[in-house]
Chain A
Amino acid sequence: MPHIDLPKDYPGIRSLFVFCHETAVPLCNLVQVLLHDPHPTLTAGERELIASYVSNLNTCKFCTATHSAIAKHQLGSELALVKQVLADPETAPISDKLKALLKIGAKVQLGGKNVTAQDVAIARGKGATDIEIHDTVLIAAAFCMYNRYVDGLATWQPDNEEFYDKMGAQRKREGYTPASINIKLDDQLRTS
């Protein structure tokens, strides 16, 4: 049961966005810029993978399932690939650059000071730019916020693969506006 009186029928962060619209707007703006808006070099799928990878390290079920599904749709891949990345990026079929960025993301999850000059040098050696390194650190840091927000208030996090998959397809189409996010679970199941 959630720690505070949240609107029923809205899972995870949605219940918090409906509960408090004032903070929903900047939180949606941030994730839109980080994960959805056009990026000079990182694809939306790569950025979603960083988000779901960090959410998994933080053991946040709702954010992991959500961003894994969005990553799947953005990459045009199978969910199995995303799960493989979450389980072990080193052996997953992704670029060496993304592997190095995920390693930086994992360090950020533990705490900012864990990122070393060597981690950054390795990423650069695999072709990562300063903006890519910057955005990786900020995406990882931001999910250390979103995950704590969702779990810290003990939101409802259903097990429903179809729900997450439909959300993933819709998020790819519509991005992260409060209007497109604040949908009840039952209504999400009726989206295409």
Chain B
Amino acid sequence: MAHIELNNELPGIRGLMAFRPETEAPLNFLAETLLRDDNNTLTRGERELIGAYVSYLNDCFFCQNVHGAMAGHYLSCDINQIDSIKQDFNTSDISDKMKALLSIARSVQKGGKQVTETQIEEARKNGATDIEIHDTVLIAAAFCMFNRYVDGLATWAPQDRDFYTNRAPQRALEGYQSSVYK
């Protein structure tokens, strides 16, 4: 049961957004810009993967399943493959650039000061640009917010993981701003 009376039955962050539309607007605007804006050299799938990975590190069931399903949808892989990337991205079949960016994201999850020069150099060596490094840090930081918001108010999350994969295509099509209450 959530820590506050939300007056709706929506799961996860959607219940919080329906409770407080004033903060819903900038939060979804941020998610839309970070994860879905096509003026970006990281694909939507790569950006969702960063979100899913950080949510996994923060142990946020709702967010890691929402964004894991989104990543799977964009990258055309199933939830088991996403799970194995989250558990050990170094041995998974993703680019060296993505491995370097996920390593930066993992440090951000622990705290901003954990990101090292060496990690940045490694990402650059594998072709990451300044804006890609910037976006990786900000996506990882943003999920440290979203995850704390969702778990800090003890929202409920559907336990059937098909719920998340079934919703992913519709959300990919409609984006974050228009699919909240559906």
CB neighbours (8 Å) of B49 from chain A are none
The CA-CA distance from A69 to B34 in the complex, in Å, is 30
Q: Which of B107, B130, B135, B146 has the most CB of A within 10 A?
A: B130
- Among the 9-residue stretches B14-22, B74-82, B88-96, B164-172, the one with 4 or more Cβ atoms under 8 Å from chain A is B14-22
Q: Which of A19-27, A71-79, A178-186 contacts B (4 or more CB under 8 A)?
A: A19-27
Q: How large is the interface on B (under 10, 10 to 19, 20 to 34, 35 or more residues)?
A: 35 or more
Of the residues B59, B135, B152, contact of A115 by C-beta under 8 Å: B152
Cβ < 8 Å to B, chain A residues 139-163? 140-142, 144-154
B33/A111 in contact, CB under 8 A: no
- Cβ distance A90 to chain B, nearest Cβ, rounded Å: 21
Whether A120 is near chain B, meaning CB under 8 Å from some CB there, is yes
| Chain A interface SS verdict (over half) | helix
**B117 on the A face (CB < 8 A):** yes
Q: Which residues of A contact B149 (CB under 8 A)?
A: 112, 137-138, 141
Is the CB of A3 closer than 8 A to any CB of chain B?
yes
Asked if A95 is an interface residue, CB under 8 A from chain B, the answer is no
Q: Which residues of A contact B137 (CB under 8 A)?
A: 148-149, 152-153
Q: Which listed residue, A30, A104, A112, A117, touches B151 by the CB 8 Å rule?
A: A112
Question: Which residues of chain A are within 8 angstroms of B32 by Cβ–Cβ distance?
Answer: 26
Does B27 count as interface, using CB distance less than 8 angstroms?
A: yes
Contacts of B144 in A (CB 8 A): 141, 144-145, 148
In the complex, which residues of chain B have a beta carbon less than 8 angstroms from the beta carbon of A113?
59, 151-152
B148 close to A141 (CB less than 8 A): yes
Beta-carbon contact of B138 and A23 below 8 Å:
yes
Beta-carbon contact of A29 and B25 below 8 Å: yes
Tell me whether A146 and B141 are in contact in the complex, defined as CB-CB below 8 angstroms, given that A5-B130, A112-B58 are known contacts. yes
Q: Closest approach, in angstroms, between the C-beta of B67 and any C-beta of chain A? A: 15
Are A16 and B134 in contact (CB-based, < 8 A)? yes
- Contact between B134 and A111, CB atoms less than 8 A apart: no
**B residues within 8 A CB of A27?**
30
Please tell me if the beta carbons of A3 and B115 are within 8 angstroms of each other in the complex: yes
- Contact (A112, B134) CB under 8 Å given A133-B3, A138-B23, A152-B115: no
Q: Is A86 an interface residue (CB 8 A)?
A: no
* B148 adjacent to A59 (CB under 8 Å): no
B108 at the interface (CB under 8 A from A): yes
Q: Which residue of B lies closest to A5 (CB)?
A: B130
Closest residue of chain A to B60 (Cβ to Cβ) is A112
Please encode chain B, from 25 to 55, with 1 for each CB lying within 8 Å of some chain A CB and 0 for all others: 1110110111001010000000000000000
Residue of B nearest to A119 (CB): B3
**A-chain residues with CB within 8 Å of residue B58 when the two chains form the complex:** 111-112
Q: How far is the CB of A60 from chain B (nearest CB, A)?
A: 7
- CB of B66 within 8 Å of the partner chain: no
Rounded to whole Å, the gap between the CB of B180 and the closest CB of chain A is: 15
Q: Which residues of B contact A149 (CB under 8 A)?
A: 112, 137-138, 141
Give the docked Cα–Cα distance between A113 and B61 (Å): 11
Decide: B134 and A107 in contact? CB cutoff 8 A.
Answer: no
Is there a chain A Cβ closer than 8 Å to B150's Cβ? yes
Complex Cα–Cα for A30 and B150 (A): 17
